[in-house]
Chains A and B, each alone.
Chain A
Amino acid sequence: MSDALLSVRNLTKIFGGLVAVNDVSFDVARGEVVGLLGDNGAGKSTLIKCISGVHSAEDGEIIFDNGAVRFASPMDARRVGIETIYQDLALANNLDVGANIFLGREVKTRRLGGLVQTLDDKHMREQSRQTLDSLHIRIPALTEPIEKLSGGQRQAVAIARAVYWDARLMIMDEPTNNLGVPEQHKVLELIRMLKGRGVPVILITHVMPDALAVTDRIIVMHRGRKVAEKITARTNAEELVQYMVGAREDVAA
């Protein structure tokens, strides 16, 4: 796979005596949606935290865009374009959509001959509106604190933020958790849209229908190890569950 944007090679992460991630390798190609499946404690969260710079791995390497990378912090990972959306979304619920999309990267204008710098809320709101429109996300009131939005809308804001800041790889941790059914569909729709834009997505989930609906490939983890890697079109829920519970294992995987 020469067109892989991300290559994880023999990654191992150890907490004390526990091998949370054990010698895991996989690739993610441009425009590809890869599902990461596994039971609680299978190591999928630890794996993606190694990729997104939260943890540093004991062994193995991460190759992003044909270069080996080593992240000291999540900001490092974000700087090269790896955006991670965790379940808590990392949004400030007391601020509006524009403020959240530009959180920590606010746009300022100089006033009084450069003497003072004020926030350019108008510009930030316009940019936010454009990004939301391009993703077909409709949020009626951009000036309201996002605590008034639904869970799905907040998820959409988090995705829009990543898109605005040119995410080159999107990692999403259980994005459909705690959402109503229509909003789950909308989030899956957004994942397809990202794929359409050539942005690959790593989707962490334990919801089998979600994984089967949007992914191209599925990686199953069990007790820290990768036990299966399947083309989504050539597998089924029953088979995947067997891998998840440890009843089956592909040695070659």
Chain B
Amino acid sequence: MTERASRLTLTRASAAHAGVRTRAQRVALFFSRVWAWAFLGLLVLFFVISVPLTTGGSVNFLTIRNSQNILVAIIPVLLLGLGQTFVIIAAGIDLSVGWVMSLASVLSALALRAAFNAGAPLFPSVLIGLIAALAGAATVGLVNGVIIAKLKVPAFIVTLGTSFIVRGIAYLMSENTTVIGLPSGIRAYGNDALLYYIPGQGGGLYFLQRPEVSGELLRRMDIILPYPVVVTAFVVAWAIFLLHRTQFGRHTYAIGGNMDAAVRSGIPVDRRIISIYILSAGTSGIAGFLSTLRFTAGSAVIGDPLLLSSIAAVIIGGVSMFGGAGTVIGTVIGALIIAVLTTGLVMLNVDAFWQFIVVGTVVIVAVLIDQSRDLIIGRTRGGAAQ
């Protein structure tokens, strides 16, 4: 066969394989890529129309206040989900994130209180609280990562085990009660905002300065971009950079796509896996720290209910449970979908427990859509090459 002929054959074979799809396939493929965005849009649209209708026009969904409530509400789920995104893309799972958040909340509260009571000024005390939260969380992540990477114990088992251990430690350290007695000044760190807006007479826009108002004006005041939201936004931006622009992110995908290939390509797989679990624990640690600031208290029970919600957000956002695929922005959308659903259903006066039924349904539908895409493009799973 001449060279030219063989070139032609390869092109033709590839066209049959990768190029030409029917119109229906292309539409389906497009839908499977954008459905989460579309679903979020439809969800918002639905609540924008239905909330005023059911309340006789007295309540609106898309207000400044409600949008800020939603942003505040997604913080813990999103932070837990960000680390989990890396873990699941690397074909792992981290079941310890909820209790790591609890431990971080307790640790930061204890450290912050101790520092402040020892005479440290407020800001350094808060920093010490942050360091305690991150150090405690990172230790758990390190233990998870080392056992998973070096001792080859399945991630599910290891993180299940450490989640129990961390739970015990969090309860013991908090002496089974909320850690209170924190300096009241930290309330500002957890609740103040970049902007304040008081609509109408006697109001206006305030930047970085909580206006001294009371009564009707205080009731009308919107708090825009509270500091925890800003911090979370930075963490999101950093996660996007890390996953999509750096060698670390590339290796995360490679490990989840084909572990064997990653090892044989000389990627320091063990070290990467350990870092990924430290990262996962780290974002959970930030979540715990922020919750301590927000509630002026450390709590050992704060994180536990968030584990499954965070995994749900990751899956709705399109991260494959088989590893190798997913984006940070997908997880943000997933967390937003959950928060919008929860907030909207409450505003519709629907029993709050319905949110679980809806979220559960969305999770399953999300995976079904993901699988139908795989059918369309004929993807093989788990790195089987041929």
A126 within 8 A of B: no
Q: A99-B250, A149-B18 are in contact. Are A92 and B6 (CB under 8 A)?
A: no
Tell whether A117 is near chain B: CB-to-CB under 8 Å: yes
A144 vs B18: C-alpha distance in the bound complex, in angstroms?
9
- Closest Cβ of chain A to B307, distance in Å, is 26
Q: Are A104 and B266 in contact (CB under 8 A)?
A: yes
The 8 closest A-B pairs by CB, nearest first: A104-B265, A94-B257, A94-B324, A182-B9, A92-B257, A104-B266, A90-B261, A103-B265
Say whether, besides A94-B324, A186-B9, A141 and B18 are in contact (CB < 8 Å): yes
Say how far A253's CB is from chain B's closest CB, in angstroms: 33
Q: Which residues does B use to contact A, with CB under 8 Å?
A: 1, 3, 6-7, 9-15, 17-19, 241, 245-247, 249-251, 253-254, 256-258, 260-262, 264-267, 324-325, 377, 379-380, 383, 385-386
Bitwise, A153-164 to B at CB < 8 A (1) or not (0) is 110100000000
A95-114 to B contact mask, C-beta < 8 Å, 1/0: 10001000111101000000
Of the listed stretches A18-26, A43-51, A132-140, name the one at the interface; the rest are far from the partner chain: A132-140
The complex places the Cα of A39 from the Cα of B266 at a distance, in Å, of 32
Chain B contacts for A140, CB-based, 8 A: 11, 14-15, 18-19
CB < 8 Å neighbour of B386 from A92, A151, A185: A151
For the residues of A in contact with B, the DSSP-based class is loop
The residue of chain B having its C-beta at the shortest distance from the C-beta of A153 within the complex is B14
Interface on A for B, CB 8 Å cutoff?
74-75, 78, 87-95, 99, 103-106, 108, 116-119, 136-141, 144, 147-154, 156, 177-178, 180, 182-183, 185-186, 189
* Contact residues in A for B14 (Cβ distance below 8 Å): 138-140, 149-150, 153
Q: What are 7 A-B interface contacts by the 8 Å CB criterion?
A: A91-B258, A118-B241, A118-B245, A151-B386, A152-B13, A183-B10, A189-B3
Most buried by A among B11, B19, B241, B383: B383
- Cβ of B257 and Cβ of A93 under 8 Å apart? yes
> Which one of B3, B15, B254 has the highest number of Cβ atoms from chain A below 10 Å of its Cβ?
B254
Identify B6's interface contact among A88, A105, A177, A186, CB under 8 A.
A186
With contacts A92-B258, A185-B1 known, is A74 near B264, CB below 8 A? yes
Whether A92 lies near B383 (C-beta < 8 A) is yes
Inter-chain contact B260/A105, CB cutoff 8 Å: no
Assuming A103-B254, A119-B245, is B6 touching A182 (CB within 8 A)? yes
Residues in chain B near residue A139, CB distance under 8 A: 14
Q: How far, in angstroms, from A118 to B245 measured CA to CA in the complex? A: 5
Residue of chain A at shortest CB distance from B325 = A94
Hey, which chain A residues are within 8 Å of B260, CB to CB? Answer: 88, 90
Give CA–CA (A95, B252) in the complex, Å.
11
Contacts of B247 in A (CB 8 A): 106, 108, 117, 119
- Quick one: closest B residue to A124, CB to CB? B250
Assembled-state Cα–Cα distance A91/B383 (Å): 8
Q: Which residues of A contact B19 (CB under 8 A)?
A: 140
Expressed in whole angstroms, the minimum distance between the Cβ of B269 and any Cβ of chain A is 10
Q: How many Å from the CB of B382 to the closest CB on chain A? A: 9
Residue contact A185 to B9, C-beta cutoff 8 Å: yes
B385 contacts which of A93, A105, A141, A189 (Cβ < 8 Å)?
A: A93
A95, A105, A180, A182: the one contacting B257 at CB < 8 Å is A95
CB distance from B239 to the nearest CB of A (A): 14
Q: Which of B7, B15, B325, B385 contacts A136 (CB 8 A)?
A: B7
Q: Which residue of A lies closest to B258 (CB)?
A: A92
Tell me which of A118, A147, A178 contacts B246 (CB under 8 A). Answer: A118
B residues near A90, Cβ cutoff 8 Å: 258, 260-261, 264-265
- Closest chain A residue, CB of each to CB of B12: A182
For residue B322, which residue of chain A has the nearest CB?
Answer: A94
Chain B residue at minimal CB-CB distance from A105: B266
Report the minimum CB–CB distance from A100 to chain B (whole Å): 8
Which residues of chain B have C-beta atoms less than 8 A from A119's C-beta? Answer: 245-247, 249-250
Chain B residue with the shortest CB-CB distance to A161: B265
Which residues of chain A are within 8 angstroms of B246 by Cβ–Cβ distance? 116-119
* Nearest-CB residue, chain A, relative to B244: A119
Residues of A within 8 A of B251 (CB): 104
Q: Which residue of B lies closest to A88 (CB)?
A: B385
Residues in B with CB closer than 8 Å to A75 are 266
- Which residues of B sit under 8 angstroms from A117, Cβ to Cβ? 246-247
> Among A95, A118, A186, which residue has its beta carbon within 8 angstroms of that of B253?
A95
Q: A92-B262, A104-B266 are contacts. A186–B10 as well, Cβ < 8 Å?
A: yes
Task: Judge whether B11 and A138 touch: CB under 8 Å.
Answer: yes
Given known contacts A95-B254, A182-B9, A189-B3, A151 and B385 CB-to-CB distance under 8 angstroms: yes
Determine the chain B residues whose CB is within 8 A of the CB of A92 once the complex forms.
253-254, 257-258, 261-262, 324, 383
Residues of A within 8 A of B10 (CB): 137-138, 152-153, 156, 182-183, 186
